[in-house]
């Protein structure tokens, strides 16, 4: 699909912004979703002049990870480009990555260990501070430097997140990291064993099993972060860049490493944000407005509060974004697209498979079908329900950047 789209892309200028409110979709809790409960006068005004619909991030009924969902939003088939979370986190933390490295995304977590059974009490160790994270990572690095002949490197992320890099002596391919995650994505159960999915991944999985045992031993005296859950085993992939596909000079305005990583992977330039706030992100956008054709603007906290089951705080983030949107409306964008990468209903405390609202405002929008930026209202729009990987078709079409197909 992206090859076809790339062949139709016109060489002309347009100003485009894609807002991704991470996990913005919700469920009635008990009567209204977070979007329905939020007071969003700016969004409501914009949506009344926008073309609307809802996207399914991957395929119907399949709950997506953030990496796969973002690949779809950028126009890549997520089933073809299944990028592991580890490499995205690593790139986001500016870790150097070679073709001999295995990258792993880690969550510090809290377990109960009675000797014969391990039970997960908190998958995120109470979202420990980044300062505590740094201390624990230094401890791990001082105690675990090599497993057999494989070098081990730990790098702190934000809060409970970290990256582990396994440095092998020979080149690796994706078949060698086909390994089950250790995170069962629920509490009250035991961590999963990082089993190999195929014969090629047996060697790496054996190293990771040893790694898990060593991490557990080093962290056993920690009060909260006394364990680590590992997932997203990956090597560096080869994919076409955003610019080569669409001819757009693109930049990302994000505050979390994983999203910086995925934008770097597709060739976007990362713009520094001074503070972890939507206000600071908007300031960055305004100061760089003239330098880029396409901006990817990511809001994380909608997802974080959804995963925590914090309905009220998720609503506050949506309302904060609505306030800041007033400043963006004063800029001269040809296309403004607002959506999420997936739904994270606070009712479920997790990602979900539910459709995600989309609004696209341009001079070519077929508007008048939706009154608010909510799940139900956006479903009334002319875009209907579509696969997330087709969003870039709509964005490019609204920008008048796609030629006709066929005779």
User: Would you give per-residue pLDDT tens digits along the chain (407 residues)?
Assistant: 566 566 667 677 899 999 999 999 999 999 999 999 999 999 999 999 999 999 999 999 999 988 899 999 999 999 888 788 888 888 888 888 999 999 999 999 999 988 778 999 999 999 999 999 999 999 999 999 999 999 999 999 988 999 999 999 999 988 899 999 999 989 999 999 999 999 999 999 999 999 999 999 999 999 899 999 999 999 988 889 998 899 999 999 999 888 998 999 899 999 999 998 999 999 999 999 999 999 999 999 999 999 999 999 999 999 999 999 999 989 999 999 999 999 999 999 999 999 999 999 999 999 999 999 999 999 999 999 999 999 999 999 999 988 777 76
Question: Same structural domain for residues 250 and 107?
Answer: no
Is residue 88 assigned to a domain?
no
Question: Same structural domain for residues 265 and 317?
Answer: yes
Question: Same structural domain for residues 380 and 367?
Answer: yes
Question: Same structural domain for residues 390 and 298?
Answer: yes
Report the alpha-carbon distance of residue 142 to residue 310 in Å, rounded.
37
Question: Same structural domain for residues 152 and 262?
Answer: no
Q: Give, for 20, the enclosing helix (H) or strand (E).
A: strand 16-21
Q: Which of 15, 1, 3, 18 is closest to 401 using CA atoms?
A: 15
pLDDT tens digits along 12-54: 789 999 999 999 999 999 999 999 999 999 999 999 999 999 9
Asked whether the beta carbons of 172 and 235 are under 8 A apart, the reply is: yes
Is residue 89 assigned to a domain?
no
Asked whether the beta carbons of 194 and 248 are under 8 A apart, the reply is: no
Give ∠ CA 225-312-38 in degrees, rounded to 5. Answer: 140
pLDDT on residue 9: 72
* CB contact set of 232 (below 8 Å; sequence gap of 6+): 65, 67, 84, 85, 86, 87, 88, 89, 103, 104, 105, 181
Asked whether the beta carbons of 365 and 47 are under 8 A apart, the reply is: no
pLDDT on residue 207: 95
Residue 351 burial (10 A CB sphere; 0-12, 13-18, 19+): buried
Question: Same structural domain for residues 45 and 102?
Answer: no
CATH number, domain containing residue 179: 3.30.70
DSSP state of 222: -
Asked whether the beta carbons of 120 and 111 are under 8 A apart, the reply is: yes
Backbone phi, psi, residue 153, to 5°:
-130, 135
Among the three residues 217, 234, 251, which one is the final residue of a domain in this structure? 234
pLDDT on residue 92: 86
Q: How far is CA 85 from CA 150, 231, 236, 239, 278, in A?
A: 21, 7, 11, 15, 24
CATH number, domain containing residue 44: 3.40.720.10
Report the alpha-carbon distance of residue 83 to residue 262 in Å, rounded.
9
Is residue 135 assigned to a domain?
yes
HSE of 61, CA atoms in CB hemisphere, 13 A: 0
Report the alpha-carbon distance of residue 270 to residue 92 in Å, rounded.
9
Per the structure, the complete domain to which residue 304 belongs is given by 2-83+239-398
Strand spans (E) along 101-210 = 101-113, 118-122, 146-147, 150-156, 161-167
Question: Same structural domain for residues 286 and 321?
Answer: yes
Q: Which of 368, 391, 399 is closest to 49 using CA atoms?
A: 368
pLDDT on residue 299: 97
Among the three residues 234, 249, 267, which one is the final residue of a domain in this structure? 234
Determine what percent of the chain falls in helix, strand and coil, rounding each to the nearest 5: 35, 20, 45
Provide the number of structural domains found in the chain.
Answer: 2
Question: Same structural domain for residues 376 and 276?
Answer: yes
Is residue 405 assigned to a domain?
no
* CB contact set of 380 (below 8 Å; sequence gap of 6+): 52, 369, 370
Structure tokens at 257: 């490493």
Is residue 403 assigned to a domain?
no
Question: Same structural domain for residues 163 and 45?
Answer: no
3-class secondary structure, 295: strand
Is residue 407 assigned to a domain?
no
Asked whether the beta carbons of 123 and 192 are under 8 A apart, the reply is: no
Q: Which residue has the tokens 């992939």?
A: 237
DSSP state of 5: H
Among the three residues 234, 267, 294, which one is the final residue of a domain in this structure? 234
Backbone phi, psi, residue 39, to 5°:
-95, 110
Residue 149 burial (10 A CB sphere; 0-12, 13-18, 19+): exposed
Question: Same structural domain for residues 254 and 230?
Answer: no
Question: Same structural domain for residues 255 and 372?
Answer: yes
pLDDT tens digits along 68-108: 999 999 999 998 887 888 888 888 888 889 999 999 999 99
* CB contact set of 92 (below 8 Å; sequence gap of 6+): 157, 256, 257, 258, 259, 260, 261, 262, 264
3-class secondary structure, 97: coil
Question: Same structural domain for residues 121 and 217?
Answer: yes
């Amino acid at each position: 699909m992206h090859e076809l789209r790339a062949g139709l892309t016109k060489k002309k200028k347009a100003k485009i912004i894609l807002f991704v409110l991470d996990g913005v979709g919700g469920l009635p809790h008990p009567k209204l979703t977070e979007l329905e409960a939020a007071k969003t006068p700016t969004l409501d005004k914009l949506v009344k002049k926008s073309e609307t619909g809802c996207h399914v991030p991957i395929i119907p009924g399949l709950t997506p990870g953030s990496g796969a969902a973002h690949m779809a939003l950028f126009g890549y088939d997520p089933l073809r480009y299944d990028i592991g979370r580890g490499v995205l986190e690593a790139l986001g933390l500016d870790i150097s990555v070679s073709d001999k490295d295995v990258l792993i995304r880690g969550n510090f977590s809290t377990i109960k260990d009675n000797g014969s059974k391990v039970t997960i009490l908190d998958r995120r160790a109470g979202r420990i501070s980044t300062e505590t994270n740094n201390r624990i990572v230094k401890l791990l690095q001082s105690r675990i430097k090599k497993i057999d002949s494989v070098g081990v490197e730990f790098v702190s992320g934000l809060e409970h997140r970290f990256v582990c890099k396994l440095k092998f002596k020979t080149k690796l391919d994706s078949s060698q990291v086909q390994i089950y995650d250790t995170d069962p994505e629920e509490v009250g159960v035991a961590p999963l064993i990082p089993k190999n999915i195929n014969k090629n991944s047996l060697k790496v999985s054996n190293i990771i099993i040893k790694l898990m045992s060593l991490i557990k031993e080093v962290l056993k005296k920690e009060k909260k972060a006394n364990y680590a859950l590992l997932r997203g085993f990956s090597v560096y992939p080869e994919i076409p860049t955003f610019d080569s596909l669409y001819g757009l000079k693109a930049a990302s305005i994000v505050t979390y490493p994983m999203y910086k990583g995925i934008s770097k992977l597709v060739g976007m330039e990362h713009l520094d944000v001074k503070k972890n706030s939507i206000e600071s992100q908007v300031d960055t956008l305004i100061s760089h407005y003239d330098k880029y054709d396409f901006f990817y603007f990511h809001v994380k906290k909608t997802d974080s509060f959804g995963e925590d089951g914090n309905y009220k705080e998720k609503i506050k983030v949506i309302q904060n974004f609505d306030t800041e949107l007033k400043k963006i409306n004063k800029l001269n964008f040809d296309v403004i697209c607002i959506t999420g990468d997936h739904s994270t209903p606070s009712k479920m405390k997790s990602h979900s498979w539910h459709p995600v609202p989309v609004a696209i405002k341009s001079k070519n929008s077929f508007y008048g079908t939706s009154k608010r930026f909510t799940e139900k209202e956006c479903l009334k729009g002319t875009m209907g329900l579509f696969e997330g990987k087709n969003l870039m078709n709509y964005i490019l079409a609204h920008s008048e950047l796609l030629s006709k197909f066929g005779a």
